[in-house]
Amino acid sequence: METRIYPNDALILAPLSGYTDLPYRRSMCRHGCAFAFTEMIDAGSLVFGNRRTMRFLDRGPEEKWLGAQIVGSEPEILAKAAEIISGYPFDMLDFNLGCPAPKVVKKGEGSALARDLDKALRAFEALKRNYKGLLSAKIRILHESDPEPTLRLAKKLEEAGASAICVHGRIAKQFYSGPVNLGIIGEIRKSLKIQIVANGGINSLEKYREAVNALGGGPVMLASGAMGNPWLFDEIASGGDWLPPDAGELAGEMERHIIETCGYHGDDVGLRISRKFIFDYMRGRGYPSSLKNSVIKIKTRPDFDLFIREIRKGPSEGYFKWLDKNQNAPRRMRGLPV
């Protein structure tokens, strides 16, 4: 391997549209996340100077390593966007060639662009010519069992100057769930010189071990497994000697994350976008559905304060009995001291 961007044991926080803003990444940093990406940045909106898009370029002083991710397809627009991003202190610029969202695919971007090899390369080359730092790409496997099409794309990106490629081991039709083909990621690792980051389905130490054992090592990228679960970074880094959060710690992290989100976006927007974060924190942690149903009613800071008090009380009674039988369940909690 010639170029090594990440340490082999790096746990990289994925770009997550609508999620990985600065307060979100700060929450992950508190749990040891040392490599992260911004939300995907639409090249056209950036060139247009859209105010909301410009905020995607914010970086916190505690962020040791931060990459930006860009999505687009028109070489001239991408070239201008790359020039703009070159003026900001990112450690890497990543090109999105995997997004399956209809509004992206409709424009021939993301996963749709990856299917048109020549066009994808022209777009990538425009970024390469105009971006002053390291450039990577994030792709999905292009076929569920045949490695050839994905291998061809990855090799061309390497030849065009990619410093690393992240491969999500699912085809676009699967969106974000279902089986992950580690075999194809492994084939790409064997055939390329640059670092290949593995992504898909890593939501626990057990799944992490499964992936690195199958692939002969990391780095890996964490995405939905860390949503509402920044402790995933602690869990994997611990190698096993780790205590999941109790209800007080869960409530503390939720509160801090959401108050910072309100500080960053203002209370109205902050509380509105935080609802999905709150659902993520509660998922799989045994809180009653009546409490989940009350999330929609959180409209003011006092509403949120009352809600957090309920979180502090801990999950429903049956949860810890269930956990006894499911000790490897992802997103676990530990009981409050009696």
Ligand X SMILES: Cc1cc2nc3c(=O)[nH]c(=O)nc-3n(C[C@H](O)[C@H](O)[C@H](O)COP(=O)(O)O)c2cc1C
User: Which positions touch ligand X (CB under 6 A)?
Assistant: 14-19, 39-40, 69, 96, 98-99, 138, 168, 176, 199-202, 222-225
Written in H, E and C, the secondary structure of 6-43 is CCCCCEEECCCCCCCCHHHHHHHHCCCCCEEEEEEEEH
C-beta of 172 vs 251, nearer to ligand X:
172
Q: Which of 162, 171, 170, 86 is nearest to 131 (CA)?
A: 86
The nearer residue to ligand X, 11 or 194, going by C-beta atoms, is: 11
Between 99 and 153, name the residue whose CB sits nearer to ligand X.
99
Distance of CA 34 to the CA centre of its chain: 13
Least spacing, CB of residue 307 vs ligand X, in Å: 23
Nearer to ligand X, 153 or 251 (CB): 153
Q: How far is the CB of 138 from ligand X (least distance, A)?
A: 4
Number of C-beta neighbours around residue 129 at 10 A: 13
What distance in Å separates the CA atoms of residue 62 and residue 33, rounded to the nearest whole number? 11
Pairing of strands 92-97, 164-168: unpaired
Supply the minimum distance, in Å, between the C-beta of residue 71 and ligand X.
7
ω before 315 within 30° of 0 (cis)? no
In whole angstroms, how close is the CB of 293 to ligand X at the nearest point?
22
Cα 241 to Cα 254: distance, rounded to the nearest angstrom: 23
- Amino acid letter for position 207: K
Output 183 or 318, the one with its CB closest to ligand X.
Answer: 183
What are the respective helix, strand and coil percentages of the chain, to the nearest 5? 50, 10, 40
Q: Which is nearer to ligand X, 98 or 315 (CB)?
A: 98
To ligand X, the closest distance from the beta carbon of 202 in angstroms equals 5
Decide whether 16 or 84 has the Cβ nearer to ligand X.
16
CB of 177 to ligand X, least distance (A): 7
Asked if 36 contacts 70 with a C-beta cutoff of 8 angstroms, the reply is no
Cβ-contact 292, 284 below 8 angstroms? no
Q: How far is the CB of 237 from ligand X (least distance, A)?
A: 17
